[in-house]
Structure 1
Amino acid sequence: MKKVEEPIEGRWLDVHEIRLISDLRIMHSKVDELFHIIGNLKRRHSETAIHKYADYQVLGEDIERVDEIYLWFLKLKSERERKDKNRRSG
């Protein structure tokens, strides 16, 4: 697999890079889909009703998963901000 630091301009992408790009596109789509589903739930139903009708255990698992995803995105955000700061300063 190519090094992450290696520029991609002027060369073909290898299979691993293509898979990564594909996975990222799927992720972007699913994040957008989840964002809209949650927005619809919030707009249409009260939190009280959601708690009343949700499967308690499954809702707890969903919350844990979203927490994990959120922490991962925070890590990516921090790395992105660090790289942006380095680009601007040097």
Structure 2
Amino acid sequence: MSAGPHYNPFEKKHGGAEDEERHVGDMGNITVDVEGNSKGSLVNTLIKLEGEYTVVGRSVMVHADPDDCGKGDHSEPGVNGKTSHTTGNAGARIACGEIKLA
């Protein structure tokens, strides 16, 4: 929990990686194989490595459930399965890492 909430410096609703209305840190879903492995790349025009809104020093998080990209139930914010606009109903945090410049 020390990683904090979704990175949202512009106070937007949660969304998908291609949505205009989204948190800076909304990166979308990844696909994993039956052993839980995944690899690939993504391009994100909101995530910055320098300047006022840099993500360096912040965390990247993998959640247990698919992200509904802000299009699901938001009837009870803070309750998984009913908090689409804040977390995408993505469930428990299962892996994380600190973002550093190499």
TM-score band by shorter chain is under 0.3
Q: Which has the higher helix share?
A: 1
Please report the TM-score for the alignment, with normalisation by the length of structure 2.
Answer: 0.18
Q: Which has the higher strand share?
A: 2
Q: Which structure's CA Rg is the greater one?
A: 1
Higher relative contact order (CA 8 A, sep 6+): 2
Please report the TM-score for the alignment, with normalisation by the length of structure 1.
Answer: 0.19
